[in-house]
């Protein structure tokens, strides 16, 4: 179960990372190209709108002036000469032209008088009928100098949606990467724990590097001197180790040695190991000590 959970987490992390890389590639590699393509399609579409409006005036010779991108997603269509048109014709021509170019269907159109900059006519298109506003579509605009401004109205929300998606993806990636790093660190720590050298002494597990004995789930702390002494006995089980050898290895150049110190520490080790009757420290009078391990005893 645990292995399945770990593998599942790894797969999720891999998929999220790949998704992030693909998303970043799309954002940073294609964003400029997409913006340029969008702008060019709008300009072509608006030139078609201008051409059709002139034809409604039976004018096939006047020029549609260059389309100007005033701001991102806002464009200006202007003409060489005066013209007049019915607003409903403008609505239909713009709608058909934008649909052919596969452009967004949320936009606002303003017909502005060149003389004073006042809006002579305007309307708003949207996918939702309640947001679509087309006033006075049957009233003719008199012949005059006009320019038309087209502004797409759904781009702001799209922009923020992309930003939110990007932020969300970044947060998700960070969470998974931190989790993966944490899991890796725990595995390393666990691996280090498993690699720690230990020795079985009866029912005890002896960890000399950690100064402790472990019996089942119970830990018994050892002082540094106790640990050093026990390590010597464990390395030489059932053998007599002379007092001089013990004191030299444990106390020489490591502090002041008092005559009874060795006996005191042996006594402490006896108490900590007394729960296992197969372990016994034997005092060889005048010589030293021996750690007897009787494997036949429980």
Q: What is the pLDDT along the chain (298 residues), one digit of tens a residue?
A: 444 455 566 666 666 666 666 566 555 555 555 677 889 999 999 999 999 999 999 999 999 999 999 998 999 999 999 999 899 999 999 999 999 999 999 999 999 999 999 999 999 998 888 889 988 877 889 999 999 999 998 764 444 455 555 666 666 667 667 766 776 777 666 655 555 678 888 899 899 888 899 988 889 999 999 999 999 998 999 999 998 888 888 887 565 555 678 889 999 999 999 888 889 999 998 899 999 988 665 4
Cβ–Cβ < 8 Å for 171, 122: no
Domain annotation covers residue 166: no
* Of 212, 206, 247, 255, residue with least CA distance to 229: 247
Domain annotation covers residue 257: yes
Q: How far apart are CA 78 and CA 65, in angstroms?
A: 6
Number of domains present in the structure of the chain: 2
Same domain, 224 and 84: no
Same domain, 145 and 205: no
- DSSP label at 137? T
Same domain, 152 and 239: no
Domain annotation covers residue 36: yes
Same domain, 255 and 203: yes
Same domain, 116 and 6: yes
The residue to which tokens 């006042």 are assigned: 118
Same domain, 127 and 237: no
Same domain, 153 and 203: no
Cβ–Cβ < 8 Å for 147, 78: yes
pLDDT of amino acid 109: 96
Buried b (16+ CB within 10 A) or exposed e, 239-276: eebebeebbeebbeeeeeeeeeebeebbeebeebbeeb
Radius of gyration of the chain (CA): 44
Domain annotation covers residue 185: no
Same domain, 138 and 222: no
Domain annotation covers residue 64: yes
Percent of the chain residues past pLDDT 90, beyond the cut: 42
Domain annotation covers residue 186: no
Same domain, 90 and 10: yes
Cβ–Cβ < 8 Å for 289, 277: no
Cβ–Cβ < 8 Å for 32, 61: no
Same domain, 12 and 67: yes
Same domain, 54 and 145: yes
pLDDT of amino acid 21: 62
Domain annotation covers residue 147: yes
Q: Which of the listed residues 128, 157, 186 is the one where a domain comes to its end?
A: 157
Count other C-beta atoms under 10 Å from residue 18's C-beta.
10
**CA distances from residue 287 to 234, 246, 282 in whole angstroms, order as listed:** 18, 11, 11
Domain hosting residue 277, numbered range: 199-293
Domain annotation covers residue 187: no
Q: How far apart are CA 206 and CA 201, in angstroms?
A: 7
pLDDT of amino acid 179: 67
pLDDT of amino acid 58: 92
pLDDT of amino acid 154: 73
Rounded to two decimals, the pTM is 0.47
Same domain, 9 and 150: yes
- DSSP label at 140? P
What tokens appear for 244 in the block?
């001089």
């Amino acid at each position: 179960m645990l292995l399945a959970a770990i593998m599942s987490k790894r797969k999720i992390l891999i998929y999220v990372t790949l998704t992030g890389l693909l998303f970043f590639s799309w954002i940073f590699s294609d964003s400029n190209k997409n913006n340029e393509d969008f702008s060019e399609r709008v300009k072509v579409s608006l030139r078609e709108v201008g051409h059709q409006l002139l034809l409604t005036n039976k004018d096939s010779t006047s020029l549609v002036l260059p389309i100007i991108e005033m701001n991102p997603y806002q464009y200006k269509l202007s003409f060489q000469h005066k013209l007049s048109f019915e607003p409903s014709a403008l609505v239909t021509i713009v709608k058909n032209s934008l649909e052919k170019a596969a452009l967004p269907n949320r936009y606002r159109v303003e017909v502005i008088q060149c003389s004073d900059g006042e809006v002579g006519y305007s309307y708003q298109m949207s996918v939702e009928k309640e947001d679509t506003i087309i006033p006075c579509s049957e009233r003719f605009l008199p012949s005059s100098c006009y320019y038309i401004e087209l502004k797409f109205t759904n781009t702001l929300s799209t922009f923020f949606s992309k930003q939110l998606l990007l932020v969300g993806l970044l947060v998700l990636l960070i969470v998974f990467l931190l989790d993966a790093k944490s899991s890796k660190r725990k595995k390393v720590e666990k691996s280090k724990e498993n690699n720690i050298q230990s020795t079985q002494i009866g029912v005890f597990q002896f960890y000399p590097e950690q100064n402790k004995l472990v019996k089942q789930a119970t830990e018994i702390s050892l002082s540094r001197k106790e640990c050093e002494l026990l390590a010597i006995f464990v390395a030489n089980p059932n053998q007599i180790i002379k007092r001089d050898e013990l004191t030299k290895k444990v106390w020489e150049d490591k502090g002041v040695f008092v005559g009874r110190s060795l006996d005191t520490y042996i006594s402490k080790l006896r108490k900590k190991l007394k729960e296992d009757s197969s372990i016994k420290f034997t005092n060889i009078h005048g010589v030293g000590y021996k750690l007897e391990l009787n494997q036949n005893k429980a």
